[in-house]
Chain A
Amino acid sequence: MTTLLLSVQNINKRFGGLQALSEVGLQIAPGQIYGLIGPNGAGKTTFFNVITGLYTPDSGTFMLDGQPYQPTAVHEVAKAGIARTFQNIRLFGDMTALENVMVGRHVRTKAGIFGAVFRPTSVKREEAEIEDMAHDLLEYVGIGQYAHSTARNLSYGHQRRLEIARALATEPKLLALDEPAAGMNATEKVELRALLDKIRQDGRTILLIEHDVKLVMGLCDQMTVLDYGKVIAQGLPQDVQKDPAVIEAYLGTPAH
């Protein structure tokens, strides 16, 4: 039994009169791609925001990589090892692709004001490593040649990859992707799937929210299905797919 990478239990979150999440829990083993699906409004993004510190849960416990984990401040989350992408792509539009990924290195590097102004050898080396790794990551996700393009001028598909590269730059234990395939056409989805596969093969753990059930079924090792803030099914994709509660929630299984 390998140690779990992320273990989440009894998450509750209420917004005024709406119980957005009730007793949600899941467990992700290292090296998995874990899927989180559910109809619109089920609470998937809320859950995401809870584990990445944007919302504070009313109750619940987290364990990341065997250590208790308190996602209080948003900027601590990346340091702890969870990096996320956003549903409606939040890149640093005016920066180049390279610079975007270099910002991803911020949390693992340490040069401050004095380092910036005086540039001792250690800082020079750190900067060179940052730039190198950024180039490497851009190539890894397949947009290496766009390194100097302004992020907002990239095509939609390339922007999504850039966001993933930037998240990878933080050297996360868990890569959390919020609907990475949204708005993509069939070809782009195939490429995305290949990229996510590659990331998994290289030892990363991924938590994935997706609407495209076919994509998720083929890709994920384990899944959780949410509906109205509650977990209605959990386990292997083929089991979840057959679960009557899930079928009922979706009222129509994948037909793409």
Chain B
Amino acid sequence: MKNTSAVPTSSLKAIVASASVVTRSGATASSSTGSASSNKKRLAIAGFVAIALLAPFIAQTFGGNYWVRILDFALLYIMLALGLNIVVGFAGLLDLGYIAFYAVGAYLMALLSSPQLTTQFVELAQLFPSGIHLGFWWVLLIAGPVAALFGVILGAPTLKLRGDYLAIVTLGFGEIIRIFLNNLDRPVNITNGPKGINAIDPVVFFGIDLSKPQELLGVALSPGLMYYYLIMVLVIGVVFVSLRLQHSRIGRAWVAIREDETAAKAMGINTRNVKLLAFAMGATFGGISGVVFGAFQAFVSPESFVLWESIYVLAIVVLGGMGHIPGVILGGILLVGFQEFLRELAEPVQKMLFGQVYIDAEVLRQLLFGLALVVIMLYRPSGIWPAPKREDRPVVRTGARSDTSRLEGGAS
């Protein structure tokens, strides 16, 4: 779209470009002392990947199925935290009701792939004589857009609110959804209320039922183990999408809104739509996690979607390193790991030291969790592993333009 002011913009580009050619030719190439540290980095990543791949086997050998399931839940929390990271970490929207999207996904799975609806509604039982069993993969496909829609609906009223108010309103939404799930068993029983919905279909992968132990090349594969790899693939997908979003026009727009919404608007960012996009993306990830949760646990109830869970996921994001994807993953590992260690050790250690248990493991865990929130906000507010700054890295032009023939300005 050409503008009609007296001097075309393309000439500005030409002048700027010629100036930059001059400076670029004088710029020094980046030195290669960076390669030593990038080797270390590659090694660390390789090590991490190896541990991640072997973790369930290690856990199974040393701890049994219980610990494998812990790993599975850790991955689910990580996936949730990565989704919330888009809303809170990138866009700076303090969502205290995020668990609602997890619930949407989980209950979608529960309603579309279990006996619940056909048991309650005779008409449906007649329409679907063998029951409604859409199966994990179809529900997964549906859950994304459905959750995104919820994200937009819940996000829309919050667009003009400042930080604290946004938090309370999203908290309110989360609670409203939970209350509805808890009470939609009367007059018609949709969600089965506090009793929850069970007998949810498991994931079936090319005919293999992941909820039954399998064997592959002589190796025994427990359900927990198989689900681990399934969830991990999804987590990798979420990480990939998050990274792509982070380094994109939309990702930058999100951070701009977080940093200064007025300036972002002045730069032409349609903050309303961009914020809704953040809610929608975050909700999508939440919903997908929920579907997996429903299939994995084979049972859902409103108890799994209480306010505490929203706070827990928020804590993973904030304590791990807001907006920094590796930090969030670390946060998830630490929080879940620490929680489990505490659960294992709290009572035996107290018995050993004091002769009796003064504080339950569960209560102690919550107490320390609260303390962690306070302490980390006071002393390390950007999280345990915030995004590194690297301000002194050399300015290297890696752009598309490598020749000067594009001096005459391109499209505007």
Q: Do chains A and B touch in the complex (CB under 8 A)?
A: yes
Report which A residues bind B (CB closer than 8 A).
2-3, 5, 30-31, 52, 54, 65-66, 74-79, 81, 83-84, 86, 90-96, 99, 102-113, 115-117, 119, 123, 125-133, 135-137, 139-140, 144-145, 147-150, 153, 166-167, 170-171, 173, 202-205
A and B contact pairs by CB, cutoff 8 A, 14 listed: A5-B5, A30-B6, A74-B262, A75-B268, A77-B266, A91-B263, A92-B263, A112-B249, A113-B277, A127-B249, A136-B17, A140-B20, A144-B23, A202-B7
Question: Does B208 belong to the interface (CB within 8 Å)?
Answer: no
Nearest 7 interchain pairs by C-beta? A203-B7, A107-B268, A78-B268, A116-B248, A132-B399, A128-B400, A90-B263
Residues on the B chain within 8 Å of A106, using CB? 249, 252-253, 256, 267-269
A132 → B minimal CB distance (Å): 3
CA distance A129 to B410 in the complex (A): 10
Question: Does B351 belong to the interface (CB within 8 Å)?
Answer: no
CA distance A93 to B265 in the complex (A): 16
Residues on the A chain within 8 Å of B395, using CB? 135, 144-145, 147-148
Cβ contact within 8 Å between A75 and B271? yes
Residues on the A chain within 8 Å of B9, using CB? 171
Residues on the B chain within 8 Å of A203, using CB? 5-8, 11-12
Q: Which of A83, A109, A131, A148 contacts B266 (CB 8 A)?
A: A83
B19 → A minimal CB distance (Å): 6
Question: Does B245 belong to the interface (CB within 8 Å)?
Answer: yes
A255 → B minimal CB distance (Å): 34
Residues on the A chain within 8 Å of B160, using CB? none
CA distance A170 to B268 in the complex (A): 8
Closest to B412 in A: A171
Cβ contact within 8 Å between B5 and A65? yes
Cβ contact within 8 Å between B271 and A90? no
Closest to A166 in B: B267
CA distance A166 to B401 in the complex (A): 20
Residues on the A chain within 8 Å of B270, using CB? 75
CA distance A132 to B401 in the complex (A): 7
Residues on the A chain within 8 Å of B258, using CB? 94
Question: Does B162 belong to the interface (CB within 8 Å)?
Answer: no
The answer to whether residues A148 and B267 also contact, given A132-B401, A136-B17, A202-B11 and a CB cut-off of 8 A, is no
The answer to whether residues A153 and B263 also contact, given A112-B250, A127-B248, A202-B15 and a CB cut-off of 8 A, is no
Report which B residues bind A (CB closer than 8 A).
3-9, 11-13, 15-17, 19-20, 23, 241, 244-245, 248-253, 255-256, 258-260, 262-271, 277, 281, 389-393, 395, 397-401, 410, 412
The answer to whether residues A94 and B259 also contact, given A83-B266, A113-B277 and a CB cut-off of 8 A, is yes
B237 → A minimal CB distance (Å): 10
Residues on the B chain within 8 Å of A173, using CB? 3, 5
Residues on the A chain within 8 Å of B256, using CB? 92, 95, 103, 106
Residues on the B chain within 8 Å of A111, using CB? 248-250
CA distance A172 to B251 in the complex (A): 23
Cβ contact within 8 Å between B248 and A107? no
CA distance A97 to B187 in the complex (A): 59
B386 → A minimal CB distance (Å): 10
A30 → B minimal CB distance (Å): 4
Residues on the B chain within 8 Å of A105, using CB? 249
CA distance A150 to B393 in the complex (A): 12
Closest to B9 in A: A171
Closest to A3 in B: B4
Residues on the B chain within 8 Å of A137, using CB? 16
CA distance A110 to B268 in the complex (A): 12
CA distance A54 to B246 in the complex (A): 29
Cβ contact within 8 Å between A81 and B269? no
CA distance A108 to B9 in the complex (A): 13
